[in-house]
Homo-oligomer: A and B are copies of this chain.
């Protein structure tokens, strides 16, 4: 993490920063894989949306954020929360609906929030988080100068009026917000072509007067543009939209058999592996060795296994606790 206001974010990441991003991606990968497993095994009720294949975005963007910056995210929000630094055990306990989870087990995966790390919440309403996160940026401009808000969402959400309305206000008031659209080509079971006429969400942003840029699912490319966008926002130059063209590896939610999507298309999607690519790059650049990668992987696997154990052995909320805290 970098000092505020300075434009260091635009510099190429140093070795430690590269490794930190790699570790974040690795952690997200392992968490999501594990969640798929335990969810499929029936350990977790409700809906679960994983971001496998899309790990580069949270890692690269959050690399520019401090603990007290804000993020708002969506139903597919595990990666963003993890990258922002939430405690893995409390995160897992919440997804398991336990009393000691971040939200006392009331939110589960779909509404997970952590005030301590500025995670304003996943949101079950598509587009619902965009104006809320824009409001966080409003508060930054008003009360917490130097802080920024980052708003994650999908290309499907960009058809909601809330997207357009929020960008207009952000542009109008030069709010310190960076919109990050993970364009994975699918909204539930429907491909982008069915619900958008323009190819890029970036084009939609420009219409609202917000500068925008499109990058591929490459962690360093994302890191670079995000750095510039966040630095701009911190220094009061207003909002920016970063669109990342990526792929959703799996179904919309865990359990979605994807009958609407050909096997080949899925294989094609899964060939876009931002983590494997980054690993090769780091090894090639001698920032990482295969051995170190293995060690790190082992470390993450253990941390995730431990968090699952923590969640499993955590208490369920008590019916008597349900009413607590509706009003202050």
**Residue A160 interfacial (CB < 8 Å):** yes
Say which residue of B172, B194, B196 sits within 8 Å of A195 (CB atoms). Answer: B172
* A244 CB–B CB distance under 8 Å: no
A81 to B171, CA, bound (A): 36
The answer to whether A172 touches B198, judged by C-beta atoms less than 8 angstroms apart, is no
Grouping DSSP codes into helix (H, G, I), strand (E, B) and loop, the A interface class, with mixed when no group exceeds half, is helix
> What string of 1s and 0s marks CB contacts (under 8 Å) between A197-214 and chain B?
110000111111100000
Contact partners of A203 in chain B: CB under 8 A: 207
Known: A161-B161, A164-B164. A197 touches B208 (CB 8 A): yes
Q: Is A168 an interface residue (CB 8 A)?
A: yes
A159–B168 Cα distance when bound, in Å, is 8
Smallest CB–CB gap between A194 and chain B, Å?
8
Residue of B nearest to A168 (CB): B159
The reply on A162 being an interface residue by CB < 8 A is yes
Number of copies: 2
Decide if A299 is an interface residue (CB 8 Å cutoff): no
Report Cα–Cα, A194/B169, bound state, in Å. 10
A91 to chain B, nearest CB (A): 32
Which residues of B lie under 8 Å from residue A165 when comparing CB positions? Answer: 159-161, 164
Which residue of chain B is the closest to A167 with respect to CB atoms?
A: B197
* A101 to B301 alpha-carbon distance, docked (Å): 74
A203 and B208 CA atoms in complex are apart in Å by: 8
- In the complex, the answer to whether A204 meets B197 with C-beta atoms within 8 Å is no
Closest CB of chain B to A192's CB: distance in Å? 11
Q: Which A residues have a C-beta under 8 Å from some C-beta of B?
A: 159-165, 168, 171-172, 194-198, 203-209
A-B contacts, 17 of them at CB < 8 A, read A159-B165, A160-B161, A161-B161, A161-B162, A161-B164, A161-B165, A164-B164, A168-B196, A168-B197, A172-B194, A172-B196, A198-B209, A203-B207, A204-B207, A204-B208, A206-B207, A207-B208
Question: Assuming A161-B165, A196-B209, what are 12 further A-B pairs, CB within 8 angstroms?
Answer: A159-B168, A160-B165, A161-B161, A161-B164, A171-B197, A197-B209, A198-B208, A204-B207, A204-B208, A205-B207, A206-B207, A207-B207
